[in-house]
Amino acid sequence: MAQVEEARLRRHLENICFLRSQVLNPGAVKRTAHYIEQELRSYGLEIDADGFYHWFTTWHRNKNIIGGFPHESQKAPCLIIGAHYDAVPFSPGADDNGSGVAVLLEAARILSQTNHPSRLHVRFVAFAMEEYGMIGSQHYVETLQKNKTAVAGMLSLECVGYTNSQPGSQIIPPGLPIQVPDRGDFIGIVGNADSGELKECLESAVHQYAPGLKAVGLLVPENGRVLPATRLSDHSPFWDAGYPALLVTDTAFLRNPHYHRPSDRIETLDFSFMTLLTQSIVAFVKELYQTRPN
């Protein structure tokens, strides 16, 4: 965990934080995808470019980027660490979702430096077209179902870089079954009814290996339909398909005033917060490797 480098998180963001709407800026999206692919390759990962067309973008091919460690068994249940790399029009998307991509890449780099048993297959997936209705992750889930792939779990890294420690900075939506702090300085970990074990494992990794990171966990019934804000990322197609999955988030518009705005820039982010989260993700993956039965 000590190998996680804040400077690398910042460098990733500097390389992808520009206008990259899949509809208005397809060339920029292509450059972003190329950057992510090259980074994952540089860590020794094997890349599968999961391309697809969609009626909304028939003039160009969309692409999920999938990286996996070559020494892991392809037949083992897969653990998916995901983050979408597109942004809304007119926003450079630092928190949404450059922060998630940066954490994904740095976690992949650290985990590539250790040997892993064959009982779990980790995939790092950068999803396309999240901002248009989770289209990339829906396509990926359909592929998993078609191939009858066993899924141990999925993490969706969605807006993970903004904090505000001022009282009242955290909006608390009505109807939450748990108590939530009114200061926006924690990471949210949200699962559905099938994801309790996964949530406990990630919370344990945070508490044990990154005690400076506050975490608030929540399990929502009915795949989040009673709390629609909990469905707004790439984990929701996994929930609907019956796969355990977690939303890992700074809560986005419930905290960040720059959400979906031109002001969503690198200088608004908390890199210490992102570093602690990356350490937690690394510890979480290592814990699953050790506890997953053969």
pTM: 0.96
CATH hierarchy code of domain 6-291 = 3.40.630.10
* CB-facing half-sphere around the CA of 202: CA atoms within 13 A: 31
Domain ranges of the chain: 6-291
Instruction: Identify the burial level of 47 via C-beta atoms within 10 angstroms of its C-beta, where 0-12 means exposed, 13-18 middle and 19 or more buried.
Output: middle
Residue whose entry in the numeric block shows the structure tokens 């450079």 = 92
What's the rounded Cα separation, in Å, for the pair 30 and 23?
Answer: 12
Dist. CA 57–CA 55, nearest whole Å: 5
How far does the chain reach from its first CA to its final CA, in angstroms? Answer: 25
Beta strands in the chain (DSSP E): 46-52, 62-68, 78-84, 121-127, 151-158, 186-192, 214-220, 245-249
> Which run of H or E residues covers position 8?
helix 6-16
Cβ-based neighbours of 112, under 8 Å, separated by 6 or more: 43, 44, 45, 69
Tens digits of pLDDT across the chain (294 residues): 679 999 999 999 999 999 999 889 999 999 999 999 999 999 999 999 888 888 777 657 789 999 999 877 778 899 999 999 999 999 999 999 999 999 999 999 999 998 766 678 999 999 999 999 999 999 999 999 999 999 999 999 999 999 999 999 999 988 888 999 999 999 999 999 999 999 999 999 999 999 999 999 999 999 999 999 999 999 999 999 999 999 999 999 999 999 999 999 999 999 999 999 999 999 999 988 766 554
- Sign, CA torsion 205/110/38/250: positive
